[in-house]
Amino acid sequence: MKNKMKSVAEWKKLVEDYQHPHLGRALWQCTNTLGPILAIWIILYFLPDASWLVTIPLAALAGLFLVRAFIIFHDCGHGSFFKNKKANDALGFFTGMLTFTPYHHWKWEHAVHHATNGDLDKRGIGDVWTMTVEEYITSSRWIKVSYRLLRNPFILFGLAPLFLFMVLERFPSSKSKPRERRSVYLMNFTLLLYGTAMSFVYGLVPFLIFQTIMMGVAGGCGIWLFYVQHQFEDTYWAQGKDWDFTTAAMEGSSYYKLPKIMQWFSGNIGFHHIHHLNPMIPNYNLERCHYSDPFFQVAPELNLLSSLKTIKFRLWDEANCKMISFRDLKNQLAESELRTAA
Residue 12 has pLDDT above 90, yes or no: no
pLDDT in the model for residue 150? 95
Q: Is the confidence at residue 161, as pLDDT, over 90?
A: yes
pTM: 0.93
CA distance 34 to 54: 21
Tell me what pLDDT residue 1 has: 40
Contact yes or no for 283/82 (Cβ under 8 A): no
Instruction: Quick: pLDDT tens for 196-253.
Output: 999 999 999 999 999 999 999 999 999 999 999 999 999 999 998 999 999 999 999 9
Buried b / exposed e over 46-59, threshold 16 CB at 10 Å, is eeeeeeeeebeebb
Over the stretch 78-126, which tens digit does the pLDDT of each residue have?
999 999 999 999 999 999 999 999 999 999 999 999 999 999 999 988 8
Q: Which pLDDT score, from 0 to 100, does residue 4 have?
A: 59
